[in-house]
Each structure stands twice: as structure tokens, then as C-alpha cells.
Homo-oligomer: A and B are copies of this chain.
Amino acid sequence: MKINYVTISREYGSGGREVGRKLADKLGIPLYDKEIIEQTAFKTGFAEDYVKKQGEYASARNWIEYSFSARNSYGMSPEDYLWAKQREVILDLVAKGPCVIVGRCADYILRDRTDVLNVFIHADLEKRKYRITEIYKEPENTDKMLKDMDKKRKFNYRYYTEQEWGKCQNYDLTLDSGSLGIDHCVDIIYHICQDDEVEKTPKPAEE
């Protein structure tokens, strides 16, 4: 079985997006990122900035907040509606052919396919803080902020997939971009994609 799709989940500041971009260039296939935001904004009528944030970071801080969030007559909150439409956009883009997708629960959305490689990228706090300051040019880079961002991604993922974000058993491989380096991560994933012998089975539901 050949790998046609790569999904990259990542800790904030670990460089997962850069891995995705370089990998897509190397494989000669698209990286869907802005397209997902633009098309989801178009479909839903939400502002792109709202889609960008809410598509990965659930606004609610906990389950209780979610339970009391605004819901329409179908019992669907704006966040749920956004998620459903974003899922449609991802499936439409995937139907066009091989690609790399960063974040947005794409690993879960494509869980029934056997030609998808699911990767999780992480790095230690010091290296992530360095990346956020030096590369992303974000002024705030405290340990607390980094952990909060991860927490939001984790919560968003858990809420919509009922699975655990960052649990290695949910991915074909996880890589420490801090110790291995971004380019090395790209190379490792690239070589796996070149191999025809990767034998995926559909991801079983988590207990």
C-alpha cells in the first residue's frame, strides 16, 4: 500500500507546520492549510480569522462551558457547525488527490482510509519557546501559554473525536523535532511515503 496522504498533528511551537510545508514540497503534493480556512469561511459565512482560531482551538475552556454554549434548533453550537463544514472541506480536498494536512483532526476524519500516514510532532518547552520567539515572532512565550495552547488543541481533538490527542498509539509515528531537527523529520516521513510496503489497517475506535 502506498501512502497518499499525510496528516500532521503537532504541539504548539514544535514546527509541525514547517515539517508539513517542506514535506509537501519534497513530495510535490499540496499542503492544505489556507485553503481549508478559506473554503470553510466561504461555506459557513464565518470570518476567516474566526475559522482559523475556532477550527483548532475550542473556545470553551471545559465540558461544562460547552454544555451551556449557544446551540441552534438542531442542538448544534456554532463550533459544532464549523467543525462539520470544515470536515466536508477536508474530504472534498482529499478527493482531489494526495496531499498533506496539518492539524484540524484530519487524522480522525480520514481514519477509514488505509493510505494515510498519521504523524505527531512534539518538542521540549525550551525549543518551542525559542521557535515562537525567533521564528513566529510572537511576544508571549511563557511555559503557561504553550501549555494552554496544547490544552486547547487537546480539548478540541477530544471533543470532536473522542480520542486522545498526542497519544502515540493514535499515530504511525511521533517525532521530537527538537532533538531530531525539522529537516530530519521531513526526511523520515518522506522516506516512509516512498515505500510501497507500509501496511495500514483502518484505525480502530479507541476504548
Chain A interfacial positions (CB closer than 8 Å to B): 120, 122, 124-127, 166-169, 171-176, 178-181, 184, 187-188, 191-192, 195, 197-201, 204
Distance, CA A179 to CA B171, complexed state (A): 10
- Contact between B181 and A197 (Cβ–Cβ < 8 Å)? yes
Contact assessment for B172 and A180 in the assembled complex, using a CB-CB cutoff below 8 Å: yes
| C-alpha spacing A176/B175, complex, angstroms | 12
Residues on the B chain within 8 Å of A167, using CB:
168
Q: Select which of B126, B179, B204 is within 8 A of A198 by beta carbon.
A: B179
| B-side contacts of A122, CB under 8 Å | 168-169
The answer to whether A188 touches B192 (Cβ under 8 A) is yes
Residues of B within 8 A of A197 (CB): 181, 184
Query: Are A200 and B172 in touch, CB under 8 angstroms?
Result: no
Contact of A201 among B126, B172, B184, B195 (CB under 8 A): B126
Is the CB–CB distance between A124 and B201 below 8 Å? yes
Q: Is A174 a contact partner of B184 (Cβ separation < 8 A)?
A: no
Cα distance, A198 to B197, chains bound together (Å)? 27
Residues of chain B within 8 A (CB-CB) of A181 are 197-199
What are 15 A-B residue pairs whose CB atoms fall within 8 Å in the complex? Answer: A124-B201, A126-B201, A168-B168, A168-B171, A168-B174, A171-B174, A172-B176, A173-B176, A173-B188, A179-B198, A181-B198, A184-B197, A187-B191, A188-B191, A191-B191
